[in-house]
Chain A
């Protein structure tokens, strides 16, 4: 079953085509890594998937519904690239706010919050105001809020940014655990090594267009995982890009 469907999606801001004719599907239970350089259109695509704005052309759906409708977002959990959450709240109050926005009951929020605070390793900082949190701790709080209502689709924008090695491993484990529970994960990243480790499929975006999409297995050559090489070639930083593209079933 396709959880996310984008069909010829285009979005322009003035004369800049942030996303240009993007066609992509994400199947239930898979982890899709959405890769590209800065300004490739990853965040714009994510914002359209969350219904922040509509595409200029093409169509998209999440669980078969228009994400601009609030109810369609009930099954989506989202963690933004870097949010400086409310400095005068602690993480429990933050989760209480987001739980309220999801329409959850107080008791349910409390139970889920405690479990998630422990899961992301913030139990010792639970009573501390967020203004005293480090960047990595804020990122963990962001992960907790995204998972609070137990979403079926998790959209993560640059989730590994600002995390220390231990937190990276914890997040990686968390993502894989979500997958094992049948959840779908869509994340954008610059961290090719992380993408290579956990993704079932990878999509590479260049100047708003999809230049490559395939499984991590497609990427591996002679038992060697070389997503970085493919990524650079797709972006035109290596001479043998067309050859690799042909091998891997490139869409361009």
Chain B
């Protein structure tokens, strides 16, 4: 990418980040997170140290839910207001290719979501550290890195969906797919084995094309203080995230190129 392309992507990405923080949605999410997390993290339930793990698990689940809400919310809202408010016209009239426009918007959604994630993880690490005296263990760092991978997929999926579906349909379908895969993704082959041939094919097809967001989930390892996984495994999962996002963005580029304004 040349210097002009870099400036164009930076300008577009900056717009998404600025809008996210100006809109104050994020402030509400941060406040909600603090209100829920603080009381949970500062007390030791029933005086039993083991029980605090359930609290940690709940806190991490909330971080996942909030990050999904922000990631999807930001990416699904990138293009529809541009079409609705007609700001897409002056944007497209500038010497910028549609591919660059898409890349800039995507980078903006990712940057905005990751910036929120940093706040969530810092808050979590701070509260855990205060209670246990262990500051940002290695497994938490890996959990954060893979969580970024999760957002790489979520934002690409949300962005692609926003170009072919209405905002509400996009949000609903993406949220159902992502949550479904997060909680049941790894059980799909097992479930498929017990089905009739047609159902088996459908489930296996879903397993093949669905976003395997369960790969990014290290909550259990963090909560139970298991040892860190190998960085090569992390790298492989991140490669999967980038590959999956690239496919989504290619499909989005195809839809965007064909879109008539």
| Residues on A facing B (Cβ under 8 Å) | 47, 50-53, 70-74, 76-86, 88-89, 93, 96-105, 129, 142, 145-146, 149, 155
Nearest Cβ on chain B to A195's Cβ, whole angstroms: 22
Q: A83-B85, A83-B89 are in contact. Are A97 and B11 (CB under 8 A)?
A: yes
Nearest Cβ on chain A to B216's Cβ, whole angstroms: 30
Is B4's CB within 8 Å of the partner chain A? Answer: yes
Are A102 and B90 interface neighbours, CB within 8 A? no
Are B11 and A99 interface neighbours, CB within 8 A? yes
Residues 188-222 of chain B, each 1 if its beta carbon lies under 8 Å from chain A, else 0: 00000000000000000000000000000000000
Nearest Cβ on chain A to B126's Cβ, whole angstroms: 29
Is B53's CB within 8 Å of the partner chain A? Answer: no
Nearest Cβ on chain B to A51's Cβ, whole angstroms: 8
Assembled-state Cα–Cα distance A82/B85 (Å): 8
Are B95 and A74 interface neighbours, CB within 8 A? yes
Among B16-24, B41-49, B167-175, B225-233, which stretch is in contact with chain A?
B16-24
Residue of B nearest to A47 (CB): B261
Q: Is the interface of A mostly helix, strand, loop or mixed?
A: mixed
Are B19 and A100 interface neighbours, CB within 8 A? no
20 contacts between A and B (CB under 8 A): A52-B89, A52-B92, A70-B96, A74-B95, A78-B90, A80-B90, A81-B86, A83-B85, A84-B85, A84-B87, A86-B87, A88-B22, A88-B23, A89-B15, A99-B11, A100-B8, A100-B14, A101-B95, A104-B7, A145-B90
Residue of B nearest to A49 (CB): B93
Tally of A-B Cβ pairs under 8 angstroms: 95
Q: How large is the interface on B (under 10, 10 to 19, 20 to 34, 35 or more residues)?
A: 20 to 34
Assembled-state Cα–Cα distance A207/B96 (Å): 32
Q: Which of B90, B97, B100 contacts A83 (CB 8 A)?
A: B90
Q: Which of A73, A82, A146 contacts B95 (CB 8 A)?
A: A73
Residue of B nearest to A149 (CB): B94
Are A102 and B19 interface neighbours, CB within 8 A? no
Q: A88-B19, A89-B18, A104-B7 are in contact. Are A98 and B87 (CB under 8 A)?
A: no
Within residues 36 to 89 of chain B, which ones have a CB less than 8 A from any CB in chain A? Answer: 85-87, 89
Q: Which residues of A contact B261 (CB under 8 A)?
A: 47, 52-53
Q: Which of B7, B22, B87, B89 contacts A100 (CB 8 A)?
A: B7
Nearest Cβ on chain A to B145's Cβ, whole angstroms: 30
Nearest Cβ on chain A to B163's Cβ, whole angstroms: 16
Nearest Cβ on chain B to A23's Cβ, whole angstroms: 23
Are A103 and B89 interface neighbours, CB within 8 A? no
Are B11 and A100 interface neighbours, CB within 8 A? yes
Q: Which of B3, B87, B90: most chain A CB closer than 10 A?
A: B90
Q: Which residues of A contact B260 (CB under 8 A)?
A: 52-53
Q: Which residues of B contact A50 (CB under 8 A)?
A: 89, 92-93
| Residues on B facing A (Cβ under 8 Å) | 3-5, 7-8, 10-12, 14-15, 18-19, 22-23, 85-87, 89-97, 100, 260-261
Are B14 and A97 interface neighbours, CB within 8 A? yes
Are B95 and A93 interface neighbours, CB within 8 A? no
Assembled-state Cα–Cα distance A72/B96 (Å): 10
Are A73 and B94 interface neighbours, CB within 8 A? yes
Assembled-state Cα–Cα distance A96/B7 (Å): 11
Nearest Cβ on chain A to B122's Cβ, whole angstroms: 25
Q: Which residues of B contact A51 (CB under 8 A)?
A: 92
Assembled-state Cα–Cα distance A50/B95 (Å): 10
Are B18 and A103 interface neighbours, CB within 8 A? no
- Apart from A50-B92, A52-B260, A155-B93: 18 A-B pairs, beta carbons within 8 A: A47-B89, A47-B261, A70-B97, A74-B95, A78-B93, A81-B86, A82-B86, A83-B85, A83-B90, A84-B86, A88-B23, A89-B19, A93-B18, A98-B91, A101-B95, A103-B8, A104-B7, A149-B94
Q: A52-B260, A52-B261 are in contact. Are A73 and B93 (CB under 8 A)?
A: yes
Q: Which residues of A contact B90 (CB under 8 A)?
A: 78-80, 83, 98, 142, 145-146
Q: Which residues of B contact A89 (CB under 8 A)?
A: 15, 18-19, 22
Assembled-state Cα–Cα distance A84/B244 (Å): 34
Assembled-state Cα–Cα distance A129/B24 (Å): 14
Residue of B nearest to A129 (CB): B22
Residue of B nearest to A75 (CB): B95
Assembled-state Cα–Cα distance A99/B85 (Å): 20
Assembled-state Cα–Cα distance A51/B257 (Å): 12
Nearest Cβ on chain B to A98's Cβ, whole angstroms: 6
Are A70 and B95 interface neighbours, CB within 8 A? yes
Assembled-state Cα–Cα distance A213/B215 (Å): 65
